[in-house]
Amino acid sequence: MVVYTYSVKEKTSRNTAAKRKIEEVFQKTTSPITLKQLYKKVATAIPGVAYSTVFRVVERLEKDTIVSRVGFKDRGALYEWSGRPHHHHLVCEKCDDVADISDQMLSFNDSKVAKSTGFVITNHSVELTGICKPCQENN
Amino acid sequence: MVVYTYSVKEKTSRNTAAKRKIEEVFQKTTSPITLKQLYKKVATAIPGVAYSTVFRVVERLEKDTIVSRVGFKDRGALYEWSGRPHHHHLVCEKCDDVADISDQMLSFNDSKVAKSTGFVITNHSVELTGICKPCQENN
DNA sequence: GTGTTTGCAAATCATTTGCAGCTTA
DNA sequence: TAAGCTGCAAATGATTTGCAAACAC
């Protein structure tokens, strides 16, 4: 079990069941999940846990950049653990399955964009949509 | 003024003030806007217009693929006119200004991704974050 | 002990819908 | 006239907050 560590900016933090479980769910889940999904999983392990608790823990985790919010078009806000290597997502149109894509596979260069727009690029996010293998076959 | 034209799937459509104004706002605005922003602009020209009217017109326009919803991380759903050539967005962290980026500037290949994941790629969306020139200078 | 965290309930905010009256064609 | 469109009000759903009790340290 990974020990909970807040960023240096945080003075204190307490090790609670909710936090431990939330971290565990994030670690076990490869694809981004909604707060609702997270809450359901947490509530199974900790009956009676409040949605607001999950909300606040994740809120804190996001501020501390331990989890990050990733944006998808239609679904609501999704969260995933930040520790994993930089990657992007490929979402299946049919079943909403999410595959990870490494940055190298995309190979586009920010500098060309930076030059033509005058922006300094600080971050990029790519979302691909497609149809996964199983769904292609079950057609 | 561009004439309102629904897709062939639509049997009928009526030319109303709300629709004309909504189209006009979309045409004049280069960056994606929220429903709220759109509503405010429409309401200025058409006092007393209902939010739900704007909602429903945009809903219809989206179904007819005349406007498209683009996803950003933090802000809510954003809409933009679809007619423009395929492009992506570069958002300024400081002032939320949005610059367009042509697809060619990014030059990444779906086929490599398709090969390694088994997915058939149907669409892609790129969101870059950065700091625009004015904000760099005003620092 | 004491300051953080939690559960509960309620506030907020965005999105969506039902309906009856109005408008466009 | 008739089907579409609109305003209004209210439902829904997601997100957020206040507060007192419970808990970690």
Q: Write down the pTM of the prediction.
A: 0.77
Distance from CA of B54 to the nearest CA of A (A): 19
Alpha-carbon gap, residue B67 to B83, rounded angstroms: 8
A48 exposed, middle or buried (CB, 10 Å; 0-12, 13-18, 19+)?
exposed
Residue by residue, pLDDT tens for chain B (139 residues) are 444 444 444 445 899 999 999 999 998 887 888 999 999 999 999 999 999 999 999 999 999 888 988 766 566 788 988 877 777 888 887 777 778 888 777 766 677 788 888 888 887 778 788 888 888 887 6
Kind and range of the H or E element at B34?
strand B33-34
| CB neighbour list of residue A131: distance below 8 Å, 6 or more residues apart | A92, A93, A94, B119, B120, B122
Say if residues A88 and A126 touch (Cβ distance below 8 Å). Answer: yes
- The gap between A77 CA and D16 C1' (Å) is 15
| CB neighbour list of residue A111: distance below 8 Å, 6 or more residues apart | none
Cβ atoms within 10 Å of A41's Cβ, excluding its own: 19
Chain B CB contacts of A128 under 8 Å are 110, 113, 119, 121, 123-125
Cβ atoms within 10 Å of B29's Cβ, excluding its own: 15
User: CB–CB of B116 and A105 under 8 A?
Assistant: yes
Q: CA distances (Å), B50 to each of B13, B29, B37, B61, in order?
A: 19, 21, 13, 17
pLDDT of A7 over the 50 cut: no
